[in-house]
Structures are given as structure tokens and as C-alpha cells.
Amino acid sequence: MDPPAGGLDMPLQPPPIEEPAFPFESELAEDERKRWLVLHVALPRTIMTCDMALGRSTEDELNDALSSLAWGSVDEESGEWTLESPDPSLEPPHSSLITYSEYVARAYPADPTMEDKAREENLKLGAGKRCCFTCPGEPGTKFRPMYDQMIKNLQHSNKALAKAFGIKKVSLKEDEVPEDPTKTEAQNIMRFGRHQILPSFWYLLIQLTKRGRRFSVVFRSFSEDQLVQAQKELQLFAQCQHPAYNGQNKTQKPPLMDGNKGSRDMRLSQAAIGRMDRMGGFLRFRDRPVELAEPAPAESAEPQADLPESAFRPTEYTFPPYHEAYAGLMHQILQTTNTAAIVDDLAFWETHERVSTAGKMLLIDRAETKARRMLLTSEEMLVPRLIFPREICRLP
């Protein structure tokens, strides 16, 4: 390549990436690749297939997700919706088409002006329609092969692993297979006969770790119960004890991520879990004392026991303004741990009719040049990530 006019040397091109950790990584400038990467990762529909906050199973969520990517037309006389798009897509094949999800929202409106009883009934009916979208006799039956492919990609294809844990069938309804306290954590993780956390998330952690990239993860969830599930799996994965990622039964063994042997500790401690209160205006880490200077052990599930209850003051950041909460998370919490979590305010979201501005809040500082923050959450991410299981997301 010829040098530009003026005799200046061309800037060095960043070295090629053999296998990107995430899409578009190869397009980043070299200085951007070295920035601290802070990933805010929503749990439902992003790396997990059920939604405990809304009480929806994996079967419900997969159908619902497909219904939001299926485009069709509405018959003027009958008012019925007919599928027109051959494949799931984010964009309509034609501007006149609407998704089945949008059609259901019009057929069963649930706006704030309605009476509470009628509104709740329509919400229930609409969810029922979306959650059986690909079932026999439903408008999305033609998408059933894609639904089946998503299930296949969730299954443990490793025969040795399936045999070791006696996996004979896949369960898509979480309520039907509760945890068994008499069994080990590994057995409980495998009880559905499939992945609970998408393999693409573990793949992302492996690639970023192998690359030596500085990164942090912030789990986001409306459900504390769902966060507990992710916390358990992450701890086992980081310690190379996850049944599907420990080097046994012909499984892949990831690099250590528990702080031992010079590794980065990616486990989630109780002290690093914050609760967001949008109405009260604060982000509180109730198990992290204000005086905490060193990170709590990741396996610890209890607050600091050496402090009298009357003297214990949790770490809390108030807003607005939002700079305190931003600085607290970025420069206090994430300086002492590599993984944190925020339980978002479900009541606030539902009170505000689930509008996007009342959901998961991502605070940014436009003047920040040393960190790159990304919020991985989308109603449409689940489908492409299950059809193309190596991809984590389509990052901007």
C-alpha cells in the first residue's frame, strides 16, 4: 500500500484475528481491542431460554421468540393472519407485512386505558397465542422445523455425557423437573437433558480469556431465582467442574477462571449482586459493606459476619443524577471483582406498561475512553443464537 501524501507512514494495521470472540471484533481498531470490555448480559432470551420473572418455560419462550420474527399478512375479510416469510427475520420481506406477535397485540389490546380485569385477560390470551405459535394447527406450523432445530442445538450431542448422566429425553418445561436436593449440583444442572445457559456464552468467556482481554461481566435479570441458577453454573464452569465443561466424558475443558494458578476469577459473589430500585432511586449492594476494600470470596454466600448487624451499612449508590451509580459500578464494584450482577426493578417495569425506558437501565459516560460497554439483551437474539450456536450476538 502506498504511503499517503506528505511522506507520512501508513498507520499499522491491527493483526488479523484467526477466530473472533464476537462478531465484528476484527473490524475494531487495535486500541479498541485493548479497551476494558464491560458486558451487561441479560439472562432471559439472551443466554438463557426461560423467563422465571414472567413464569415462561423454554417451550413458551422459543415459540414466543419465533412469533416476533415471523412476518405475515392479515386477511381483510376474515381478519386472520397468514404466514408469508419463509424464514425468521428481523426485517419484513415487504413493508405491508406484520409479525404474528404484533398481530396478537392488535387482536388482544392491553393498553393502560382499559379496565384492569379486561387488560389482564387480554395479556393472558395474547401470551397463550404466542407461546403455542408453532404447535399443530397454529399459524406458525411451517416454522416448526426451525423450532425443532433450536431444540436440537440445545441438546447435549455428546453421547458419552448423555450416558454418564442417564439423559434419555429433553424437558422444555422447567416446572416439571424441579431441583432434587438429594442430588449433586452437576446432576441438577443436567436434569433437563439440555443446556440451560447457551454454549455461545461459555465460548465467549473462553475466547476472551485465551486472548488475554480485560473484560467484566454484569448479569442483568428481573428474577433473583434465575440469577441464582446462572451464578451456580458460572461458579462450576470457572472452577472447571461444570458437567458439560470439565474435560470428562469427552467434554471440553476451559481454562481456569477461579483465581487459582494466576487465572482471573470470573465467579459471582453475593457481595457483587446489586438490587436496582427505580422508584426509590438507588442501586444497593446489600451484602457489600461500605468499608469493603477487598473482594469477598466468590463462594461466600453470606454478608460479612464480623460486623455487628447494627453497624453494617451496605454499599448504595443513589440517582438521579446518575454519575454516582455509574462510577460506583465501574470504579468500585468492578475494580474488586470481574463479575457482578444487577437485579432490575420488575415492579417498576410492569407499573410503566413494560416500556423500554422502564426496563434494564444501562448507564454510560460518553467521555469514557478506557472502557467499552455493551448491553446484550434483545427480544430477537434467542433465535439466531440457537440456529447459529457459536455466535454470542450481533454486537453493534
pLDDT confidence of residue 355: 85
Cα dihedral 343/347/353/356 (nearest 10): -20
In which region does residue 315 sit, left (phi positive, over 0), alpha (psi from -120 to 50) or beta (all else)? beta
The two most distant CA atoms of the chain are separated, in Å, by 75
Instruction: pLDDT band for 303, please (50, 70, 90 cuts).
Output: low
Apex 380 CA angle, 154 and 220, nearest 5: 80
Cis check for the bond before 4: say yes or no (omega within 30 of 0).
Answer: no
Apex 14 CA angle, 9 and 15, nearest 5: 120
Nearest of 5, 31, 27, 2 to residue 16 by alpha carbon: 27
Q: For residue range 238-270, list pLDDT tens digits in order.
A: 999 999 999 999 999 999 999 999 999 999 999
Provide the percentage of residues in the chain whose pLDDT is more than 90: 70
H-only helix segments in 246-370 = 323-328, 334-336, 346-351
Q: For residue range 146-170, list pLDDT tens digits in order.
A: 999 999 999 998 999 999 999 999 9
Q: Which residue has the cell 494458578?
A: 261
Nearest of 100, 170, 88, 90 to residue 128 by alpha carbon: 100
Q: At residue 142, does pLDDT exceed 50?
A: yes
Instruction: pLDDT band for 28, please (50, 70, 90 cuts).
Output: low
Question: Which amino acid is residue 245, in one-letter code?
Answer: Y
Beta strands in the chain (DSSP E): 36-42, 71-74, 81-83, 98-99, 215-221, 273-277, 282-289, 314-318, 339-343, 371-376
CA atoms within 13 A on the CB side of 127: 15
Residues 6+ apart with CB under 8 A from 309: none
Residues 6+ apart with CB under 8 A from 46: 376, 377, 378, 381, 382, 393
pLDDT confidence of residue 312: 84
Q: Residues 328, 317: contact at Cβ < 8 Å? A: yes
Distance CA 203, CA 218 (A): 17
What pTM did the predictor assign? 0.83
Q: What are phi and psi of 316, to 5 degrees?
A: -145, 135
Q: Please report the DSSP string for 72-96 in residue order.
A: EEE-TTT--EEE--SS--SS-SSTT
Q: For residue range 326-357, list pLDDT tens digits in order.
A: 999 999 999 999 999 999 999 999 888 888 88
pLDDT confidence of residue 6: 42
